Structure 1
Amino acid sequence: MKLLTEYIEHALQFERLAAEEHDTHLKAQFIEQAKEYRKLAAERAKRYGLPPPSPPRATEP
């Protein structure tokens, strides 16, 4: 369960970085990294029989 929490925390961290970033290329990279962590979290949640994590807030460039 700890890994699931860590994945979500990493996703949230990258989403915050993306929200504050002005460079569109770097912002897109942060968003992509956050998506990958959310994907890992969803896979882990499914393995535990838990609901998937909530979707991220809009941070698209």
Structure 2
Amino acid sequence: MKLTATVAAIALLAAPAFAGNVEPFVAPEPVAVDEPVGGSNAAWLVPLIGIAIIGAAVAANQD
């Protein structure tokens, strides 16, 4: 009886060790995102508006 219980316990504990596939893991290739070339870049718009506001304030105070 002890031998049967021991074999059952070993079989239950060893089952996860044999689960899965024996083939080596192959990682998926990373996805490359290409940014479009050209287009509008509005990063220059905010500093230009700031310079225009400062210029307008300086011109208004020249009175």
TM-score clears 0.5: no
**Structure with higher helix content:** 1
Q: Of the two, which has the highest radius of gyration? A: 2
Question: Which of structures 1 and 2 has the larger relative contact order (alpha carbons within 8 angstroms, sep 6+)?
Answer: 1
Interval of TM-score (by shorter of Structure 1 and Structure 2): 0.3 to 0.5
TM-score, normalised on structure 2?
0.35
